[in-house]
Structure 1
Amino acid sequence: MQLTDVWFAAIAVLWTGYFILEGFDFGVGALLPVLASDDTERRVMINTIGPVWDGNEVWLVTAAGALFAAFPEWYATLFSGFYLPLLVILLALIVRGVAFEYRTKQDSARWRRGWDRCLIAGSIVPAVLWGVAFGNMVRGVRLDARHEYVGGFWELLNPYALVGGLTMLVLFVTHGAIFLALKTEGDIRRKARALAWKAGVVAGVLVAVFLGWGQFHGGSAVSVALGVVAVVAWGLAVAAIAAGREGWAFTASAVAIGVATLTLFAVLYPNVLPAVDPANSLTTTNAASTVKSLRIMTWAAVFFLPLVLLYQSWTYWVFRRRIGVRNIPAGH
């Protein structure tokens, strides 16, 4: 196995971790106006992800950094061709981060409502646009002989990419609802569990359609097998939440999202960004850094990655308990 293949797999794992962890963050934010009946319940929902949301975003930073260092051609073409949607994602994430910090800075219901809207939009917009971006990566885009994107913005809003955006949004909403059912008590828990079951059925259909459609853009036996595993795991998540087994449901939904992400990368391989004209496609070979750069990165990853995983695991262990309205102090 070449180092280029190792780093393609590593980037796939980083994106998998990001979508699993940030996925329920996005879901919780999107569900604020649906599950919370007053400000206290909104505070309960926000506090379930308050200690971990910024740590979850580190996976995105690491994935983008690894992409830049290991496959600079892929990074350059992706971030120039998809400049506008990626810029909107970045702005949405910034607004979302500010909303977490600023919503309690004034004792004003109007102030908090404004920042809650920012939090909701900052959760929904990235979820949809990540699905659109990955849909286009799998489908392929117009690249010239220099591997530069020559298509227009509206070409990115094709049917397959839009199905990808909708799929990712519903997946994350369900994942977030299951997380809330696992982390809260009382009315929020009951409403989250009921919503997770209903949304989960819709998400299951969308996942099957999106991953099945993706096989026609370069699927293999491996990607087909992974897609089946993802759909089965999602079915188990829906069955578990219907049975009131929140822990098993969250585990299964995390596995389903993770395997679904790996399915998309399996469809891509050995391409990293396929072109409409296959001769212009970016592959793990022509988009990669030098062997020396990849070796240095590999040693750095071997040393630092276990430390990051241990620290983040410890964080989740510390904040493992359920919370409810009784845990929220009076005042803003």
Structure 2
Amino acid sequence: MELTTVWFILIAVLWAGYFLLEGFDFGVGVLLPVLGRDERERRLLINTIGPVWDGNEVWLLVAGGATFAAFPEWYATLFSGFYLPLLLILVALIVRGLAFEYRGKVDSPRWRQRWDLCIIVGSLVPAVLWGVAFGNIVRGVPISADHEYVGGFVNLLNPYALLGGLTTLSLFALHGAVFLALKTDGDVRDRAGRLAFRLSLPAVALAGGFLLWTQVTHDDTWGWVLSGAAAAALAGAVAAARFRREGWAFLATGATLVLAVAALFVTLFPDVLPTSLPGGDSLTVTNAASTPYTLKVMTWVAVLFTPIVLAYQSWTYWVFRKRLRAEHIPVSHP
């Protein structure tokens, strides 16, 4: 297998890992006003992701860095064409990170309400725009023969991409509700479990419609297989949420996200950014790749350091594996 194909697969794995881990972070943030009825419950929800959210974002940084190093043409065209939505995502992630850090610095309800709003918006915006971005990547965008993006921001707001945005939002919200049911106890756990089942119904409709539209348009055999597997995993998540089996539900929603990302990348291959212009030139794993020497060096670095990162992050989740209750949260900030 050529190194260009290997790195295309590795980038797909990085995005799948990012959606799997950061997905429930976004879901918790979006559901903060729904499940957090008072200050202690809102702090409980934030504490469920407090030890891990910044580590989960590392997957995004590595995916972006790997794309820049392995496929610089893809990175350059993607960031020039998707500049505004990617900037909005970056600003939202920065604001959300600041909210986690500064929310408890002042013992004032108004102060905390403002930062809570930042957490909600900072989770909602990326949850939608990542789906819009990937929808456009798979659909294709106006790229000239010189590999320059020649469209505008409006070109990105097409029905297929917007459906992708609603799909990621619904799946992340479901993933977050299941995570909260798995990570909390008491009344919050019960409400999160009931909410997860209610959220699973629109998630099935949106994700099913998006994957079906994708495969009908591209008609890729492996894409059909992976889309079917994602649909089966999502159906399993619905059943597990219905019978309040939080562990199985979380595994099922995670598998849904991973398989959905895999289906999109398989459908995309060998392109990395197809063109929608008749006279344009699509970016592929061949014409967008770095030199063979660069890919060899990157491969050795990945082989040496990836197991260390995975081991450390797994250890972090193991340390903070216990359920949390509202009673564990002090009545007021120290």
**Do the two structures share a fold, i.e. TM-score over 0.5?**
yes
- Shift of residue 265 of structure 1? 0.5
Alpha-carbon contact 1:72-1:287 (below 8 Å) kept: yes
Partners of 1:38 and 1:290 lie apart in 2 by 55
Partners of 2:2 and 2:225 lie apart in 1 by 23
Alpha-carbon contact 1:40-1:325 (below 8 Å) kept: yes
Give 1:244's aligned amino acid. R
- Shift of residue 277 of structure 1? 3.2
- Shift of residue 218 of structure 1? 2.7
- Shift of residue 327 of structure 1? 0.7
Partners of 1:326 and 1:314 lie apart in 2 by 26
Secondary structure (helix, strand or coil) at the match of 2:185 reads: coil
Give 2:298's aligned amino acid. M
Secondary structure (helix, strand or coil) at the match of 2:272 reads: strand
- What's 2:298 paired with? 297
Partners of 1:126 and 1:244 lie apart in 2 by 28
Give 2:31's aligned amino acid. L
- What's 2:34 paired with? 34
Partners of 1:314 and 1:147 lie apart in 2 by 43
- What's 1:52 paired with? 52
Alpha-carbon contact 1:219-1:266 (below 8 Å) kept: no
Q: CA offsets per residue over residues 275-312 of structure 1, 9 Å max, x none?
A: 01365100000000000000000000000000000000
- What's 2:324 paired with? 323
Secondary structure (helix, strand or coil) at the match of 1:285 reads: coil
Structure 2 unpaired stretches of 5+:
none
Alpha-carbon contact 1:175-1:254 (below 8 Å) kept: yes
- Shift of residue 219 of structure 1? 3.6
- What's 2:214 paired with? 214
- Shift of residue 103 of structure 1? 0.3
1:92 aligns with 2:92: yes
Q: CA offsets per residue over residues 17-56 of structure 1, 9 Å max, x none?
A: 0000000000000001001110100000000000000000
- Shift of residue 146 of structure 1? 0.8
Q: CA offsets per residue over residues 131-172 of structure 1, 9 Å max, x none?
A: 000000011000001111101111100000000000000100
- Shift of residue 201 of structure 1? 1.4
- What's 2:200 paired with? 200
- What's 1:306 paired with? 307
- Shift of residue 122 of structure 1? 0.2
Instruction: Indicate the larger mover: 214-223 or 268-277.
Output: 214-223
> Which runs of structure 2 are paired with 1:126-165 in the superposition (5 Å)?
126-165=126-165
Partners of 1:12 and 1:39 lie apart in 2 by 39
- What's 1:271 paired with? 271
Partners of 2:20 and 2:151 lie apart in 1 by 31
TM-score (norm 1): 0.99
Partners of 1:291 and 1:90 lie apart in 2 by 31
1:66 aligns with 2:58: no
- Shift of residue 123 of structure 1? 0.2
Partners of 1:216 and 1:150 lie apart in 2 by 27
How many pairs were matched up?
332
Partners of 1:156 and 1:258 lie apart in 2 by 24
Partners of 1:83 and 1:174 lie apart in 2 by 29
Partners of 2:292 and 2:2 lie apart in 1 by 9
- What's 1:230 paired with? 230
Partners of 2:112 and 2:37 lie apart in 1 by 14
Q: Which runs of 4+ in 1 moved over 4 A?
A: none
Q: CA RMSD in A?
A: 0.8
Instruction: Indicate the larger mover: 281-290 or 184-193.
Output: 184-193
Give 1:52's aligned amino acid. V
1:283 aligns with 2:284: yes
- What's 2:81 paired with? 81
Structure 1 unpaired stretches of 5+:
none
Secondary structure (helix, strand or coil) at the match of 2:145 reads: coil
Secondary structure (helix, strand or coil) at the match of 1:329 reads: coil
- What's 1:25 paired with? 25
Q: CA offsets per residue over residues 5-24 of structure 1, 9 Å max, x none?
A: 00000000000000000000
Q: CA offsets per residue over residues 206-264 of structure 1, 9 Å max, x none?
A: 11110111124434111110000001001101101111110010001101110001111
Partners of 1:152 and 1:199 lie apart in 2 by 34
- What's 1:167 paired with? 167
Identity %: 63
- What's 1:13 paired with? 13
Partners of 2:252 and 2:108 lie apart in 1 by 40
- Shift of residue 331 of structure 1? 1.7
- What's 1:121 paired with? 121
TM-score (norm 2): 0.98
Secondary structure (helix, strand or coil) at the match of 1:280 reads: coil
Partners of 1:5 and 1:265 lie apart in 2 by 11
Alpha-carbon contact 1:138-1:217 (below 8 Å) kept: no
Partners of 2:216 and 2:190 lie apart in 1 by 40
Alpha-carbon contact 1:217-1:267 (below 8 Å) kept: no
